[in-house]
Structure 1
Amino acid sequence: MQGCLRNFVCRVSPKKWATKSTESVKRAQKKCVTLRRVLATNTDEFCKNTTLHGLKYVNNQSLHPAERSFFIISVIVVCIISAFYILKVYEKWATTPVIVGINPEPNFVTNIPFPAVTICNLNQALKSKAIEANRNPKRRAMLKLLCKNESDEEQSTISSNWSNLESIIMNISQPCEDMMVACRFAANEYDCSKYFIPIITDEGLCCVFNMLHPKFMFISHIPRSMRNIPERDYEPIDWYAERGYPPDLPNKYYPRRIAGTGESLGLSITLDVEADKYYCSSTNSVGFKLSLHSPNESPNVHETGVLIAPGKETKVRVRPDKTETTQKLRSVDTKYRRCLFHDERQLLYFAHYTQRNCEMECIAKMLLQHCGCISFYMPKIYKNSTICNIRSLHCVEMVRLRKDPTIGSCLDACWPSCYDLTFLVDVFAIPLWSDEFFIENKRVQRYNKTYARKNIAVVNMYFKEYSFRSSIQTEFIGTTDFLSAVGGLMGLFLGFSFISIVELVYYAIIHPIRTLLQFEYTKKPALSEKLIRCDKTTVCRQWSSVQRYKRLRKYLRLRAIYGRAHKSTKQRAGYKRLSNNAVKCITDTLKKEQDIRT
């Protein structure tokens, strides 16, 4: 009996088993296969049962070898063609992820700020102030730089400190309160000097309206011209092209929005050019330059400004041009989407990233690298930056106009903003009345007709349409489109679907594991044989305790698995007899234990 029990828990060695096991066990031993055979069997079953096209002919033994070879070659060719087109789709998806289209949702001019307006007098210096400045050699050299005239000053004078050039420009140029005669915005009259602040640009001293407050515009160094901003009734707020206005707005704020379209709700200003006070002009004419730009952007008046002639009334019809980008493109590499979100690059001088602000800093870096100084209107990216003097004018022009091809440029790194707001203008001008000139503003009425025709300019800026369509950058081929394209190609060439993936997982993992486990249990036939030979008495004697009963249940489960692997009638009868004996034994044992307790 002890030998019978040992065979419950001890494994018979393959050699001993081969000599002592019965014929049925020997047949079971032959069914134990290696891993290679299991994989081969599963591959064969997969080819026969899969939904993929053509594979069932590859291992069809009823076909002639030449026919099977034909299908093998066909499947390989189809796989290669499918992989080729899938690679093309992937390259298109990876290298061309962005497409620019028209946003189906309309935008309204009441939801965007009115453009920042920068106006510059072409006169770089008032005649009286220039005559006074010529008495000082240093100021005379600075005046020549401002007027872009060649200097014959001594080198010692030119090489002196030019850090106060900004204050000199403010002293010798026409101030904003003299340039602005009258202002009207959204059908309300305003004091121009409170809303137009001085700013130094490449056109000298200018006046800007509706620009961001310097504390939001710049990171550290605030230009001297913008440090003493008069108090207004409007609270400054930070505005982003990407995020727009903050949710909680005060009653009065700027950058200001417009109430509607048309000239009545736009910005109207009356300007005095003071032609008799001209000393040097940035062009060959008398008048003003006007630039409309985003409130968070530095103006580019010299290159993109519109000329405003005195003695004429000019209509400036504004058309907003807005660019938007879906947030899904944040995950796309910048070298493919070719634009930057506002928080992806931090500039040194400007707090807001725009392409124009980046270009300004880039040119300043190039000037520092090649000329050792920066122009007076450039951003002070470093606190110790030196202002270029008149001797450096040639080097400045070489860098700014990129005349020397050997000079590297960083402008290629200044990509557009993913969210951007620009303004396009249509300009129309007509002469002022020849017989009578009258403006409702009392400050203008003191000018006579002759002076008005020679010096006064009226500019009206307004939005043309209430709604407009913005450009939106979206995914050219999204993840869903990519999967659809790949799935379509694989379905066309191979009949592939997600069910095919399930089949592959089943035949590659689940089915082999199940088969290996089944054959692993077939390697223990001696155990089952000894179980069959054990009678009821032996089973009851050795498995009366509850712990042994649990072990018996374990071996009964093994026997059930092993029993499914043997198909002979004799073996099935033996398993049935063993099962009946075990059940009877267990039942009797439980009854005895119950009687003892009671």
Structure 2
Amino acid sequence: MWLRKVLKLLWQSIERRSKEFLRSTSLQGLKYVWNNKLPGWVQLYFVKVFIVAVYVAINLAVNVFHKWQSTPVIIGISPTVTAIQSIPFPAITVCSMNKAKSSIVSTFQNGSLEHAMLQKACNQEFNYTRFSSFRPRLKRNSFANFIFNISHKCDELMVSCEFGQKTLPCTDLFREIYVDEGLCCVFNFLHPYYLYKHSDSTLRDYTSSKGLSDIAVDWNPITGYPKYLPAGYYPRPGLGMGIYNGLKIVLNGLTDEYYCSSTNGQGFKVLLYNSIDQPRLKESGLPIMLGHETNYRIVPNSYEAVPSIRNIDRKTRQCIFSDEQKLLFYKYYTRRNCEAECDAIYFLRLCDCIPYYLPLIYRNATVCHVAHFDCVNRAELGNADGESTECKELCLTGCHDVTYFPNAFSIPIIPFQQDSVSPQGDFFKNFSTDFIVTNLAIVNFYHDENYFRSHVRSSYTGLTEYMSLTGGIMSLMFGFSVVFLAELFYFIFLRSLLQYIQHCSPNRRNRVNMQYSDEN
């Protein structure tokens, strides 16, 4: 019985306060609901209108919230242009498709250690079981040094090099580098001192040689070049637009020395990339045909990120700031560097060694040799099926990055049935027409614009924009505002608290006691 009375009193109190709230609220429509002076159908009409408005507003607000969650970052175009002189000319790696010089490897005996390593260099099937217990006695007897000894060097492959209309020794521009295609030549690569955390036996000095006056400097997509630069430095920046402000190289395919090719034909592979990236040419390399002049018009693309998106989860924004994820071997985070370390971890886990072209993520890790080749071959097949995908899924794109898109086209050096036509250049005078067609290739790399616009990653809908959109919807539907929240807080909590304090105050109790005494 007493519970029913308590509930009745509570309901009456709620009803009384609700009426008072609805009469005085700033929310549109509610003051008509409990106005007894209006006909019942009018009150019912405004009840229905209010319910529909609330339903529509909530659905629209939920849609805005879902868009805020699903699309937190938008990539826009920077309002300012970037000069190509402020970023490096792309790093360029050139690889001969020939993996070994015939004059050297033709003397190898079948079944010998050298012959077994040659089969691996040429990607041929071979049973390495008999070498399973082999251990090199000296460090110089590594598989990487074997590759170096049987491969063409840069001074053999490069006939002529020009950069910015200046003819320079090719050995001052290109240095040997180990990649997944073997020993190749690289231009404008960041110095190992600035790129790697520690050295290993396969690393070479890519940016200096005797007589080279240019000084290696640090560079990364976030901070760019150092503030103070020497007169000549690596990595070289872009000079300007046009073929005469780019890089021109003449390559010699040395087809008489062909022993095995990484493809079905002769020629070269080339890759243009960021100066701090790990090059991977086996899958991404572009072909250079012998007997042709190939032009690569470079289209640079830069990605930047506003600092405010750091507060967004990396999986949601789909990019990583360089200082958010530390790599084991590389000082700078990029997606390719991260994926290269994933591959190194994969081979180390399966074969207890790391292939010579992958980063030596641990100083004491073993570089794969002939004893590991059976396992490496099986691991390469498994890696092609995506067994290291789980690691690479965490290798998101860098929030700050520079990429280069090569727009390529080629023409024959000497047109068909026009042997009387001579290619330009004094160095061609020493070669016959047949030799030029079957061995030489001219390649030009150049920018086609002096400026480009970078892409900027920014918040698609920040907190301010989200509140504005949500508040606009609520206000449009039924006049929702911050004042209404203050009214709601007052009627539900603050007013009840004040009444309770007044009821329990000493003056209130004294007045009640005096009234009780007078009555007695």
- TM-score, structure 1 length as denominator? 0.74
CA contact (8 A) 2:342 2:388 kept: no
Within the alignment, does 1:254 sit opposite 2:237 as a pair? no
CA deviation profile, 1:159-198 (whole Å, cap 9, x unmatched): 4237700011111111111111221111212111122111
CA deviation profile, 1:44-64 (whole Å, cap 9, x unmatched): 443222210232234434457
Q: Secondary structure at the match of 1:410?
A: helix
Higher mean alpha-carbon deviation, 378-387 vs 62-71, is at: 62-71
2:217 aligned residue (221, 230, 237): 237
Per the alignment, residue 160 of structure 1 pairs with 134
Per the alignment, residue 326 of structure 2 pairs with 346
Structure 1 residues 196 and 408 mapped into 2: Cα distance closer, same or farther (>3 Å)? closer
Per the alignment, residue 410 of structure 2 pairs with 429
Q: Distance in 2 between matches of 1:357 and 1:36?
A: 68
Higher mean alpha-carbon deviation, 331-340 vs 243-252, is at: 243-252
CA contact (8 A) 1:312 1:430 kept: yes
Q: Distance in 2 between matches of 1:526 and 1:137?
A: 112
Q: What amino acid sits opposite 2:478 in the alignment?
A: L
Q: Distance in 2 between matches of 1:244 and 1:488?
A: 42
CA deviation profile, 1:318-338 (whole Å, cap 9, x unmatched): 111222322221111112111
| Counterparts of residues 271-310 of structure 1 (less than 5 Å) | 271-310=251-290
1:414 aligned residue (385, 395, 398): 395
Q: Distance in 2 between matches of 1:75 and 1:438?
A: 83
Structure 1 residues 213 and 288 mapped into 2: Cα distance closer, same or farther (>3 Å)? same
Q: What amino acid sits opposite 1:194 in the alignment?
A: D
Within the alignment, does 1:127 sit opposite 2:107 as a pair? no
Q: Distance in 1 between matches of 2:35 and 2:412?
A: 94
Q: Secondary structure at the match of 1:474?
A: strand
Per the alignment, residue 460 of structure 1 pairs with 444
1:266 aligned residue (246, 250, 254): 246
Q: Secondary structure at the match of 2:393?
A: helix
| Counterparts of residues 83-98 of structure 1 (less than 5 Å) | 83-98=58-73
Q: Secondary structure at the match of 2:316?
A: helix
CA deviation profile, 1:234-290 (whole Å, cap 9, x unmatched): 222222123322323233221111221001000011112211111111112221111
Higher mean alpha-carbon deviation, 290-299 vs 378-387, is at: 378-387
* Displacement after TM superposition at 1:113 (Å): 0.9
- TM-score, structure 2 length as denominator? 0.85
Q: Distance in 2 between matches of 1:429 and 1:340?
A: 37
Within the alignment, does 1:176 sit opposite 2:154 as a pair? yes
| Counterparts of residues 16-31 of structure 1 (less than 5 Å) | none
| Counterparts of residues 484-499 of structure 1 (less than 5 Å) | 484-499=468-483
Q: What amino acid sits opposite 1:484 in the alignment?
A: S
Q: What amino acid sits opposite 1:418 in the alignment?
A: C
CA contact (8 A) 2:191 2:205 kept: no
Per the alignment, residue 142 of structure 1 pairs with 117
Within the alignment, does 1:391 sit opposite 2:374 as a pair? yes
Q: Secondary structure at the match of 1:417?
A: coil
CA contact (8 A) 2:356 2:367 kept: no
Q: What amino acid sits opposite 1:214 in the alignment?
A: P
2:164 aligned residue (172, 186, 198): 186
Q: Distance in 1 between matches of 2:202 and 2:344?
A: 18
CA-based RMSD of the aligned residues comes to 3.1
CA contact (8 A) 1:270 1:459 kept: yes
Per the alignment, residue 454 of structure 2 pairs with 470
| Counterparts of residues 311-390 of structure 1 (less than 5 Å) | 311-382=291-362, 383-387=364-368, 389=370, 390=373
Q: Secondary structure at the match of 1:224?
A: coil
Per the alignment, residue 538 of structure 1 pairs with none
Q: What amino acid sits opposite 1:298 in the alignment?
A: Q
Q: Distance in 1 between matches of 2:184 and 2:283?
A: 15
Higher mean alpha-carbon deviation, 507-516 vs 85-94, is at: 507-516
| Bigger Rg, structure 1 or 2 | 1
* Displacement after TM superposition at 1:208 (Å): 0.2
Q: Distance in 2 between matches of 1:92 and 1:358?
A: 30
Kindly tell me the number of residue pairs found equivalent between the two proteins: 492
Within the alignment, does 1:451 sit opposite 2:426 as a pair? no
Q: Secondary structure at the match of 2:330?
A: coil
Q: What amino acid sits opposite 1:340 in the alignment?
A: I
Structure 1 residues 502 and 251 mapped into 2: Cα distance closer, same or farther (>3 Å)? farther
* Displacement after TM superposition at 1:516 (Å): 5.6
Within the alignment, does 1:116 sit opposite 2:97 as a pair? no
Structure 1 residues 477 and 494 mapped into 2: Cα distance closer, same or farther (>3 Å)? same
Higher mean alpha-carbon deviation, 161-170 vs 287-296, is at: 161-170
CA deviation profile, 1:17-58 (whole Å, cap 9, x unmatched): xxxxxxxxxxxxxxxxx9999987665443222210232234
Structure 1 residues 137 and 40 mapped into 2: Cα distance closer, same or farther (>3 Å)? same
CA deviation profile, 1:105-145 (whole Å, cap 9, x unmatched): 32222221100010111111111221344488112111110
Q: What amino acid sits opposite 2:156 in the alignment?
A: D
Q: Distance in 1 between matches of 2:43 and 2:180?
A: 80
* Displacement after TM superposition at 1:472 (Å): 2.7
Higher mean alpha-carbon deviation, 424-433 vs 287-296, is at: 424-433
Q: Secondary structure at the match of 2:99?
A: coil
1:481 aligned residue (465, 474, 477): 465
Gaps of 5+ in 1: 1-33, 530-598
Structure 1 residues 282 and 146 mapped into 2: Cα distance closer, same or farther (>3 Å)? same
Q: Secondary structure at the match of 1:83?
A: helix
Q: What amino acid sits opposite 1:124 in the alignment?
A: K
CA deviation profile, 1:433-460 (whole Å, cap 9, x unmatched): 4335466466x65444443333222111
Q: Distance in 1 between matches of 2:113 and 2:288?
A: 33
Identity over aligned residues, as a percent? 33
Q: Distance in 1 between matches of 2:78 and 2:275?
A: 23
Q: Secondary structure at the match of 2:26?
A: coil
Q: Distance in 2 between matches of 1:274 and 1:194?
A: 21
Gaps of 5+ in 2: 1-8, 516-520
Q: Distance in 2 between matches of 1:88 and 1:362?
A: 38
Q: What amino acid sits opposite 1:435 in the alignment?
A: S
Structure 1 residues 263 and 66 mapped into 2: Cα distance closer, same or farther (>3 Å)? closer
* Displacement after TM superposition at 1:395 (Å): 0.7
Q: What amino acid sits opposite 1:191 in the alignment?
A: P
CA deviation profile, 1:400-455 (whole Å, cap 9, x unmatched): 321xx77764222221112222111122222224335466466x654444433332
* Displacement after TM superposition at 1:372 (Å): 4.2
CA contact (8 A) 1:324 1:420 kept: yes
Q: Distance in 1 between matches of 2:224 and 2:12?
A: 67
